[in-house]
Amino acid sequence: MKVSKLVQRAGTETAFAVLAKAREMERQGKSVVHFEIGEPDFNTPENVKQAGIKAIQENYTHYSPAQGILELRETIAEYITKTRGIEVSPEEVVITPGGKDVILFTATAILDEGDEAIYPNPGYPIYESAIKIAGAKPVPMPLREENDFAFDREEFKKLITPKTRLIIVNSPGNPTGGILSVEDLEFIADIAKKNDIMVLSDEIYSRIIYDGEFHSIASLPGMKERTIILDGFSKTYAMTGWRLGYSVSNKELAKNFVKLATNSFSCVTTFVQMAGIEALKGPQDAVEEMRKKYEERRNLIIKGLNEIPGFRVKMPKGAFYAFPNIEGTGKSSKELSDYLLNEAGVATLPGTSFGKYGEGFIRFSYATSLENIEEGLKRVKEAMSKL
Ligand SMILES: Cc1ncc(COP(=O)(O)O)c(C=O)c1O
């Protein structure tokens, strides 16, 4: 069978492949500690679950408008207006089945063959994949450990060409946990405005921050019209399997996103959208409780990893990932990640799953219990002493 060039250009997410391998090992009776997949281990808050059940009972089981239910878009517009300090209207919001689609929508709605798009590397692998699907050239923006995984301004400036049409930023970042400062965002914003470049701001971890504050590039003067905010419910409300996210962009782009939605999923599951209204409007205690638990876990895993010879990691400021430098072990990212899974039953992801600048690192998702973290650290320590 002939597979199209477009699909051949697409990349993938290694996390799902490692998860499948780890599950297969478990099926064969081996014990695995999971640090591979970036998903909260908490359950969706009870009020949100009840809102979903109620919505099914009230027959929110039909199609909704492709853009999403107006009440949810109004709720999101209010939420973004409040949290980002910009005036947002419901026409500027598009509901998607997870934040992920916003990446593909942005790339396909903005980029043409021959265009260039700058994306963080190491970064969420779907950025590079989506740029490639759109037929444009992915230009990696290296994130450096020595800069706390922010980009180097001089290096960044040199990446801009007359063909640059899109810059992707992700703060707090996956896989590094790094946060971009207001000054960094201002630097990008200035370049974007001067060169007429759009910015995709992936803010999916905006509520999972431990040190410092969250800032959106969309809040900076003149940036609202040229920024696409990607956000959603997966991480903040432990709703990964519900598939609910959204974009906030200028109206013209929103209309084009709706066109793409109409061509693919038609609308997001209607009762899921209703649960989203409760998530944003209801009590927020669960969000803060989860954040505090992630913080405790972060402190434990970072301390433990730094005690392992050959590992070195700074305290990440947000998200739920530890991204230790493992060059001191003498192994490549892939070799070490494979070794830990096969020998110690510890599932991690090689840094190279997040791009070439991830070599020398592995990623631990610490969205798992303190007991699992302790057990995982013990196993890694033991396995490393055998090397
Ligand atoms: C940086 C980043 N953006 C977007 C997503 C997509 O999340 P979802 O599609 O579940 O909303 C993820 C999920 O892992 C992520 O890490």
179-221 confidence digits (pLDDT tens): 999 999 999 999 999 999 999 999 999 999 999 889 999 999 9
Is 206 close to ligand 1, i.e. is its CB under 6 Å away?
A: no
User: Does the pLDDT at position 337 exceed 90?
Assistant: yes
* 113 is a domain residue: yes
Mean pLDDT across the chain: 97
Using the mean position of ligand 1's atoms as its centre, give its distance from the Cα of residue 296 in Å.
Answer: 22
**Is residue 260 very low, low, confident or very high in pLDDT (cuts 50, 70, 90)?**
very high
The count of other CB atoms within 10 Å of the CB of residue 260 is 18
Nearest to 202 by CA among 218, 191, 188, 190: 218
The count of other CB atoms within 10 Å of the CB of residue 153 is 14
Using the mean position of ligand 1's atoms as its centre, give its distance from the Cα of residue 252 in Å.
Answer: 24
User: Do 84 and 220 fall into the same domain?
Assistant: yes
User: Does the pLDDT at position 88 exceed 90?
Assistant: yes
* 54 is a domain residue: no
User: Do 227 and 333 fall into the same domain?
Assistant: no
User: Does the pLDDT at position 14 exceed 90?
Assistant: no
222 touches 199 (CB < 8 A): no
- What is this structure's pTM? 0.97
* 298 is a domain residue: yes
What is the structure's pLDDT at 13?
85
Which ligand 1 atom sits nearest the alpha carbon of residue 233?
A: 11
Is 202 close to ligand 1, i.e. is its CB under 6 Å away?
A: yes
- Average pLDDT, stretch 266-282? 98
User: Do 271 and 290 fall into the same domain?
Assistant: no
User: Do 208 and 311 fall into the same domain?
Assistant: no
Is 318 close to ligand 1, i.e. is its CB under 6 Å away?
A: no
User: Do 34 and 131 fall into the same domain?
Assistant: no
Is 170 close to ligand 1, i.e. is its CB under 6 Å away?
A: yes
What is the structure's pLDDT at 16?
86
Q: Summarize pLDDT for 131-171 with one digit per residue, the tens.
A: 999 999 999 999 999 988 999 999 999 999 999 999 999 99
Q: Summarize pLDDT for 108-126 with one digit per residue, the tens.
A: 999 999 999 999 999 999 9
Is 122 close to ligand 1, i.e. is its CB under 6 Å away?
A: no
User: Do 22 and 71 fall into the same domain?
Assistant: no
* 310 is a domain residue: yes
Read off φ and ψ for residue 293, nearest 5 degrees: -65, -40
User: Do 14 and 125 fall into the same domain?
Assistant: no
Q: The domain that contains 177 carries what CATH number? A: 3.40.640.10
User: Do 34 and 83 fall into the same domain?
Assistant: no
* 182 is a domain residue: yes
User: Does the pLDDT at position 15 exceed 90?
Assistant: no
* Domain total of the chain: 2
The 3-class secondary structure across the chain, one letter per residue, is: CCCCHHHHHCCCCHHHHHHHHHHHHHHCCCCCEECCCCCCCCCCCHHHHHHHHHHHHCCCCCCCCCCCCHHHHHHHHHHHHHHHCCCCCHHHEEEECCCHHHHHHHHHHHCCCCCEEEEEECCCHHHHHHHHHCCCEEEEEEEEHHHCCEECHHHHHHHCCCCEEEEEEECCCCCCCCCCCHHHHHHHHHHHHHCCCEEEEECCCCCCECCCCCCCHHHCCCCHHHEEEEEECCCCCCCHHHCCEEEECCHHHHHHHHHHHHHCCCCCCHHHHHHHHHHHHCCCHHHHHHHHHHHHHHHHHHHHHHCCCCCECCCCCECCEECCECHHHCCCHHHHHHHHHHHHCEECEEHHHHCHHHCCEEEEECCCCHHHHHHHHHHHHHHHHCC
Q: The domain that contains 376 carries what CATH number? A: 3.90.1150.10
Structure tokens at 266: 């038609």
**Is residue 371 very low, low, confident or very high in pLDDT (cuts 50, 70, 90)?**
very high
* 50 is a domain residue: no
* Range with lowest mean pLDDT among 37-41, 81-85, 299-303: 37-41
Q: 223, 248, 281: which is the final residue of a domain?
A: 281
Domain containing 246 equals 62-281
Using the mean position of ligand 1's atoms as its centre, give its distance from the Cα of residue 330 in Å.
Answer: 31
Q: 281, 313, 335: which is the final residue of a domain?
A: 281
**Is residue 273 very low, low, confident or very high in pLDDT (cuts 50, 70, 90)?**
very high
User: Do 39 and 67 fall into the same domain?
Assistant: no
Using the mean position of ligand 1's atoms as its centre, give its distance from the Cα of residue 241 in Å.
Answer: 12
